[in-house]
């Protein structure tokens, strides 16, 4: 498998390439966003690891361009920008995960393996292409979109996986552990904010009033529920 690494810091770029190489990846590296986009246009990739702040195109730019090209490959932001707004923006642009710097080799390796397992499982699901209702929206996994009479929005595979799980358990609270195990492939993620950031992004896309959500309810101490 081939991974695109876009990172302007040479030490971080080398470290990421070594981490992925040790797991059997062929790592193609770029020192700026412009070079990364050139590589992406001429090579088939299975994963993209993007820094946010880079010369040329930012990681945000690259993620948006990758999604606009029609590519559905997993995208991970690896950045020193760790504020929640940065993470939510990345997820809204179509990223699948966000790892903060400084990072450990084991964390990066484990998160990438879990992400790829989740994508493999999604592709193997026999009903993964079936549309389903979610409130006033119709979620279309094949097109990675949600459509209502008034709008059409783009969704990532991870977002569709979360919506599908809540729809399957409609009326019941889905625990945080269940979300992470079934949608991320992670058996244990202590103190992770990834779920909350994805839910915030989904509410911004789907809810009429994010301060008073009616499609995705918070169940204190448990997780989330689609009523």
| Alpha carbon distances (Å) from 82 to 135, 219, 221 | 32, 26, 24
99 and 19: one domain?
A: yes
113 and 136: one domain?
A: no
Q: What are phi and psi of 119, to 5 degrees?
A: -65, -40
The pTM for the full model equals 0.58
Last residue of a domain, one of 81, 108, 124: 124
101 and 182: one domain?
A: no
105 and 6: one domain?
A: yes
183 and 203: one domain?
A: yes
Q: Beta-carbon neighbour count of residue 166 at 10 Å?
A: 25
97 and 117: one domain?
A: yes
Q: For position 219, what pLDDT does the model report?
A: 94
101 and 19: one domain?
A: yes
Which segment, 10-24, 172-186, 190-204, is predicted with the most confidence on average? 10-24
16 and 62: one domain?
A: yes
174 and 70: one domain?
A: no
> CATH number for the domain including 205?
1.10.10.10
pLDDT digits over 158-188, tens only?
889 899 999 999 999 999 888 887 887 665 5
The answer to whether 64 and 40 have CB atoms below 8 angstroms apart is no
What radius of gyration do the chain's Cα atoms show? 17
16 and 76: one domain?
A: yes
136 and 27: one domain?
A: no
Domain count across the chain? 2
106 and 202: one domain?
A: no
**Helix orientation angle between 84-92 and 59-68, rounded to the nearest 10 degrees:** 20
pLDDT digits over 75-132, tens only?
999 888 666 666 677 777 778 888 888 888 988 988 888 888 777 654 444 345 689 9
Last residue of a domain, one of 124, 146, 161: 124
- Between residues 153 and 186, the one the model is more confident about: 153
Structure confidence at residue 148 as a pLDDT band (50, 70, 90): very high
Last residue of a domain, one of 124, 152, 175: 124
Range of the structural domain that residue 100 is part of = 2-124
């Amino acid at each position: 498998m081939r991974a695109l690494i876009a990172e302007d810091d040479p030490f971080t770029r080398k470290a990421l390439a070594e981490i992925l190489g040790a797991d059997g990846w062929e790592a193609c590296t770029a020192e700026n966003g412009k070079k990364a986009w050139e590589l992406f246009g001429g090579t088939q990739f299975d994963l993209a690891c993007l820094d946010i702040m880079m010369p040329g195109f930012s990681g945000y730019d690259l993620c948006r361009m990758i999604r606009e090209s029609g590519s559905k490959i997993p995208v991970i932001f690896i950045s020193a920008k760790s504020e929640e707004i940065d993470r939510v923006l990345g997820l809204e642009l179509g990223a699948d995960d966000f790892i903060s710097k400084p990072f450990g080799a084991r964390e990066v390796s484990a998160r990438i393996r879990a992400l790829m397992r989740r994508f493999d499982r999604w592709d193997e699901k026999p009903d993964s292409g079936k549309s389903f209702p979610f409130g006033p929206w119709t979620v279309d996994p094949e097109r990675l979109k949600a459509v209502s009479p008034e709008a059409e929005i783009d969704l990532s595979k991870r977002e569709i996986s979360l919506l599908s799980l809540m729809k399957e358990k409609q009326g019941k609270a889905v625990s945080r552990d269940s979300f992470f195990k079934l949608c991320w492939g992670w058996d244990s993620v202590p103190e992770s904010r990834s779920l909350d950031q994805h839910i915030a992004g989904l509410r911004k896309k789907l809810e009429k009033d994010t301060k008073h959500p009616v499609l995705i309810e918070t169940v204190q101490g448990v997780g989330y529920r689609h009523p």
